[in-house]
Amino acid sequence: MAGLPRVTHVFLRIIRYATVWVLWKARNNCIFQNAVFSPDGLLEKVKLNSFLWLKANQASFNYSYHDWWKRPIPCMDAHL
Amino acid sequence: MNKECRVEEMWSMGWGDGGEAWVWRRRLLAWEEESLRECTILLSNIVLQDDVIDSWRWLLDLTSGNTVKGAYRLFTTIGEPLDRSLVVDVWYKQIPSKVSMFAWRLFWNRLPTKDNLLYRRVISPENVACVSGCGHPKTANHLFLDCMLFSSLWYQVW
């Protein structure tokens, strides 16, 4: 992480928040919908959430969901 | 005695200890004497000026006045010590505000996790086990970091 450029840190932070957000939503789903917890699909949700947040709030983020899904690190070079 | 008296009149009569501004209908009780003493101390170094218009002042920042930013700084620099870098990092324009708010509550341990619900007597002690069924009581640290089922996501993310 220390070796990565500064702009990358913002992306990593977004991913981190997406992760705690997804975990909390999963926990709520277990408690309030009586769902059985399964870690499958959570990673997908982290990718989708972080992508949608960036797409909506970061004008310079021009990558497709496929790019982000497959190779997120190159997408992080966008200028903030 | 004179309830209609103005601040300016009080001041010119003298509101120091034993000043003429203080006239009472009856003798004061001991606790009232005490309050009066405190009041005269507060007033002792106040000087009224004719040529200055009354206004509110925000003592923490006299130049720019009361701002949300100033108040935020006040509230985040006092209180329990914790990792400052985490607090500052919460507000980012790319992150939806509900998520920022959620992260803020997480860092301050203000989420309604089961241990917090128990502490506030919302749930009873037999209900504190983590929903994943791992048997630990659910605290924020446990949910987001320790619990094997939940934390497996972190390894996938990285």
Average pLDDT (B131-151) is: 63
pLDDT confidence tier of residue B141, bands split at 50, 70 and 90? low
The answer to whether B84 and B74 are in contact (CB under 8 A) is no
SS3 B117: helix
Average pLDDT (A56-74) is: 82
Average pLDDT (B58-78) is: 76
A40 Cβ neighbours under 8 A, 6+ residues apart: none
Task: Identify the bridge partners of residue B137 per DSSP, sorted by sequence position.
Answer: B129
Average pLDDT (A55-64) is: 83
Predicted structure pTM score: 0.58
What residues in B contact A54, CB-CB < 8 Å? Answer: 94
* Burial class, B132, CB count within 10 angstroms (exposed 0-12 / middle 13-18 / buried 19+): buried
Q: What pLDDT, on a 0 to 100 scale, did the predictor assign at position B144?
A: 65
Task: Identify the bridge partners of residue B129 per DSSP, sorted by sequence position.
Answer: B137
Residues 127-156 of B with CB under 8 A from A: 131-133, 143-144, 149-150, 152-154, 156
Average pLDDT (A64-79) is: 76
Does ipTM top 0.85?
no
Q: What pLDDT, on a 0 to 100 scale, did the predictor assign at position A80?
A: 46
- Residue A24 tokens read as 């909390």
Average pLDDT (B72-83) is: 66
pLDDT > 90: percent of chain B: 1
Tell me if A53 and B153 make a contact (CB, 8 A cut-off): no
The answer to whether B7 and B47 are in contact (CB under 8 A) is no
Quick check: A5 pLDDT over 50? yes
Average pLDDT (B30-37) is: 90
Average pLDDT (A53-80) is: 78
The answer to whether A13 and A6 are in contact (CB under 8 A) is no
Residues 45-84 of B with CB under 8 A from A: none
The answer to whether B42 and B49 are in contact (CB under 8 A) is no
Nearest to A27 among B95, B96, B131 (CB): B131
Q: What is the DSSP letter of B125?
A: G
Tell me if B89 and A13 make a contact (CB, 8 A cut-off): yes
DSSP H helices in chain B: 7-13, 30-43, 68-77, 84-89, 97-107, 114-119, 140-141, 148-157
Residue B94: closest CA among A12, A1, A22, A67: A12
